[in-house]
Structure 1
Amino acid sequence: MKIAVVMGGITSEREVSLRSGQAILNSLLRQGYDAYKIDLTKENLVSAFIENDYDLVYLALHGEYGEDGRVQSVLDMLGKKYTGSGVTGSAVAMDKILTKIIAKDLGIRIAKTYGSVEEIDSYPVVIKPAKEGSSVGLYICNTKEEALKAYEVLQNKEPLIEEFIKGDELTAGVLNGEKLGVVRIKPKSGLYDYESKYTVGKTEYECPAQIDEKAYEEASEAARKIHEKLGLKGVTRSDFILKDGKTYFLEVNTCPGMTETSLAPKLATLKGYSFDDLTKIMVESC
C-alpha cells in the first residue's frame, strides 16, 4: 500500500501542517510503510490528488482546504481512501458556531455567545474566526471599542463572539470512539495562543489532568458525544475551559496537530499508545 502524506495547504496554519506531516511521514517510514510527502499549494490544490500515485491519503492538513471537508469531497469523488473524518463531519466541526449549537443540544455546557458587538452585555469577551484553528486571529476584548476593532479585522472570517471565561484550559481526546483522557494546559504566558502552542518550553502540560474526577469525566464524555454525534473518525481533540468545577466546551479539532508539542500524541499516551501506534491505527482504521 502506497501512502501519500498530504501536508502544507494554503491557510495560516501551513507551517504547523508541514511540521505535523513530516512527523507523521517519519513515523510511517520507521514502521516500514511505503509513504511519501505531498506539499499542497495553491498551484496543486486539486491536481495533487489526480496526478500522484497512492492507495491512501494520510491527511495532515489544518484549517480550510483540508480540515473543512473540501479535500475530503475531492477524494470521495476520486474514490480514494483517506484518514480521519468524512466530508460532513469535517465541515460541521470546522464551523465553531454550528458545533456549539449541536453541543448545546447534547446538553454540553458552552460559553455564552453573542450575535453582534451590540448584543454584548458583559466584558471581557473573546472574538475569533469561526473557521480557523491554532488560535489564529484570537482577540480578548475588555471594552466595546476593542470589540469593534477586532470584529472589523475579522469581518471577512465570520467572527464568533463569546464570553471570556477565565479558568484552566483542558483538552480531551477520542480515537475512533475510544475516550483517551484529558490533559490540562498551562501556558507560561497565561494565554494559550499560537506561540504558546507551537514553541517548545512555552507551555507545561499536566498529563493526565490533575482535576476533580467529575470534571475529568465530564470533559472526556462531552468529547466522546461530540465525536459520535458528528460522525467523526480517527483521532479528534475537544477543547474546554474549567472554571469552578464546571467544564465549558469550546471546539473540536478533526485533524489535530502532530508536532513535537502537539496534544493529540500526549493524549494517546494516556491509553498506552505511542506516536507510531497512533499513526498505525489511523492508517489501519481506514
Structure 2
Amino acid sequence: MKIAVFMGGISSEKEVSVRTGTAILNSLIRQGYDAYGVTLDKNNLLTAFIENEYDLAYLALHGEYGEDGRIQGLLDILGKKYTGCGMISSAVSMDKDLTKKIAQAVGVRTPKSYTRENLENIDKFPVVVKPSTEGSTVGLYICHNKEELLDAVEKSGEKDLVIEEFIKGEELTVGVLEGEPLGVLKITPKIGLYDYKSKYTAGMTEYEYPAKISEKSYQEAMEYATIIHNSLKMKGVSRSDFILKDGELYFLEVNSCPGMTETSLVPKLATLKGYTFDDITRKIVEKFR
C-alpha cells in the first residue's frame, strides 16, 4: 500500500500542517510503510490529488481547504481512500457555531452565545470573538467592554464569527481515537492566553496529564468528548476542548484533524493509554488494510 501524506495547504495553519505532516511521514517511514510527503500550495491544491500515485491519502491538513470537507469531497469524487473524518463530519466540525448547536442538542454544556445582530444587548463582559472556521486561536479576541467588542468585530471583517461569554477556568482537552477517549489533559500557559505562540513554542505552556481534577469532572470530560465525536460521526482522531469552572464543564470546540507535532496534545494524551506516536499512525492506517 502506497501512502501519500498531504500537508501544507493555503490556510492560516499551513506551517503547523507541515510540521504535523512531517512528523506523521517520519513515523510511517520508521515503521516500514511505503510513504512519501506531498506539500500543498495554491498551485497544486487540486492537481496534487489527481497526479500523484497513492492507495491512501493520509491527511495532515489543518484549517480551510483541508479540514473543512472540501478536500474530503474531492477525494470522494476521485474514489480515493483517506484518513480522518468524511466530508460532512469535517465540514460541520470545522464550523464552531454549528458544532456548538449540535453539542447543546445532545446535552453538552456550552458558553452562552451571541450574534452580530444582538451586540448592543451584551452587558456582561468579557466576551470572546473568534472566526467560526479557523483554528490555532487565529483571529481570537478577548473583549472587556463594548468598545473592544465592536473593534474586534470590525477587524474580523466579513468572517462568520463565534461570539460567546468568556469563561475563566481550567483549560482541558480530551483526545478520542477511533471512538476511544484517551484521557484528559490540563493546559496552563506560563504567560497570558493559550494562543498560537504558546501552543507551538516549546516551554511556554505546562501540560498536566492526567489532569488533576475531580474524578467526576474527569469522567464527564471524556464522556462529553466521546459524545461529540460520535454525534458528528467523526473518524480517526478528534480532540475536544473544554473549560472547567466551579465544577461545571463547558465545551468550546472540536478538532477533526488535531496537530501531531512535537508539542501537540494528542500524542501526550495517547501515552495515558500506553500508545506511542507510531501506535497512533499505525492504528489509523491499519483501518485501510
Q: TM-score, normalised by structure 2?
A: 0.98
Paired position in structure 2 for 1:91: 91
Q: CA deviation at 1:156?
A: 2.1
Distance across 2 between alignment mates of 1:230 and 1:119? 32
Tell me the amino acid that sits aligned with residue 44 of structure 1: N
Q: Do structure 1's residue 114 and structure 2's residue 118 form an aligned pair? A: no
SS of aligned partner of 1:173: strand
What is the aligned residue count? 286
Distance in structure 2 (CA, Å) of the matches to 1:156 and 1:45: 24
Q: Helix, strand or coil for the counterpart of 2:135?
A: coil
Tell me the equivalent position of 2:21. 21
- Please tell me the residue identity of whatever aligns with 1:278: I
Deviations 1:35-57 (A, max 9, x none): 10100111111110000000001
1:161-172 correspondence to structure 2 within 5 Å: 161-172=163-174
SS, match of residue 156 in structure 1: coil
Counterpart among 137, 142, 145 of residue 144 in structure 2: 142
Q: Cα deviations across residues 41-80 of structure 1 (Å, max 9, x unaligned)?
A: 1111111000000000100000000100000000000000
> 2:188 is matched with which residue?
186
Q: Which residue in 2 is equivalent to 1:255?
A: 257
What is the identity, as a one-letter code, of the residue corresponding to 1:23?
A
| 1:198 paired residue among 197, 200, 204 | 200
Pairing 1:69–2:72 present: no
1:125-149 alpha-carbon deviations (Å, 9 max, x no partner): 0000000000101000001111111
Give the 3-state SS of the residue equivalent to 1:140 in structure 2. strand
Return the letter of the residue paired with 2:69. Answer: G
Q: Residue in 2 aligned with 1:131? A: 133
Matched residues in 2 for 1:237 and 1:192: separation? Answer: 16
Instruction: Name the aligned partner's letter for residue 73 of structure 2.
Output: S
Larger mean CA deviation between 102-111 and 155-164 belongs to: 155-164
- Give the drift of 1:155: 2.6
The residue identity in structure 2 corresponding to 1:39 is: T
Identity of aligned residues (%): 68
Write the letter of the residue equivalent to 2:15: E
The TM-score with structure 1 as length reference comes to 0.99
The DSSP-based 3-state class of the residue aligned with 2:158 is helix
Alpha-carbon separation, structure 1, partners of 2:259 and 2:73: 21
Ranges of 4+ aligned residues in structure 1 off by more than 3 Å: none
Preserved CA contact (<8 Å) 1:234 1:285? no
Residue ranges of structure 1 left out of the alignment (5+ in a row)? none
- Corresponding residue number in structure 2 for 1:208: 210
